[in-house]
Structure 1
């Protein structure tokens, strides 16, 4: 079995002691993917889809704009499949992420602090050159489709092993590209028609709540704009989580449950705890491992 065959089928862990009113909170632990994040799913799916359609051919290179996890995931997939990878990211992303991308043999191009618009613009500039494929993670529906067909399906199967007749009342997830939020939502709604979808964003950059973009420490979500993949009419609620609360919750998950996960995981669980007085059964996501945040206080 190759490393790409190990992507997915991550555990659904029980965090129910964190519920305010004796309900249930479950979290899909995506840190258990080979490169340590949920982005392994879209990297594999998008590359293989592009190979099938002829967008990506042997000898081509791949370029993508990212806050880090997508860059790591695509670098891993590119290395396994023999493609050159170029990652464009803001320079204030964690040093651990940058180092991991370099270790996987990718070229790293840095832009200004928190300048995701600049990263995307630079990636498209590079992609205009011959024999270069850009996955377009922020706008490519293949991203959403990945989570409909894998993440969402797995959650239902695992939940049915726990409770064959029960229902999931709310799905809580941070919004980076929006692929996880929208894709899992679609699949869960087929099984649980009354499901509520709750988006999570940094309080310091609460654009989904009508606020202004701003600096924050929850890397992987809150890029200062609402991605094309997100349709706000399908979002029932938005929880804005301060960076310090997200970090504190991530530390708590390690200390009390033994899960070494990242800051966005802390944000998601913090949001799930907030709404647990209104929803009996909640599912959320632990998007990545905490090992790439040591330089940021985790």
Structure 2
């Protein structure tokens, strides 16, 4: 399936920094003083002519990095390598990026690497090195790690994954994120490392460390009914404007739990798209939430006795 670009919160036109295969050696190229850049180095495209470390050093040396506000990592040499080196290089050069406010890590489309194959390591250094960062978006969950942190500026945290490790959800819940307004977790399936349980989400659902949260997305899960039941009684829901339980295996049992839980009429929008609800349950939901925009698009049917999430491999 075609997936949208990872960066959902970028606001600036993006320039891609060229790899050596696209550089005309006879012409001296002056790079624009752009505020948003993407980095893409594919060793299969340029025949390994340049390592990612050298590519990044050239980027830092040729671009006015003091002007960079948004930085997207599309590929860091090979789709089969971890992003650890990219994280280390950027974190180590943090003083060269004083204006950086957005990082998108792993903006790799499916035709270059399936989402479940995108490899990461510990991404905590990005938050530690950039205390003024406002947006962190990550695609891929293989090997992904996060340590609990305190970050006073982060407003958006998004993880797109075909399988999110439970340790990441627990670390988010244990982090102090007083400015966070938008939290989005694609939980995925166990076949691709998605072992997040409802218990792993308890601190997030309590919301004690997330006082500014206005949007919560717990999406793309094969245990969406269980998550819906937990959300129905979660303290954090009372302060939300929008809630997304979309992309997963939500059925009538999960919807029933939402109906009999705390009132959801405060919400502006409830996203349940890609679901397995019956027509009767869909009507009940709409009738119970007359002032809420309820997205029930993408009604799915059980196939091979299974419910499938929207994004897995």
Same-fold call, TM cutoff 0.5: no
TM-score after normalising by structure 2: 0.26
TM-score by length of 1: 0.27
Structure with greater Cα Rg: 2
| Structure with greater helix share of residues | 1
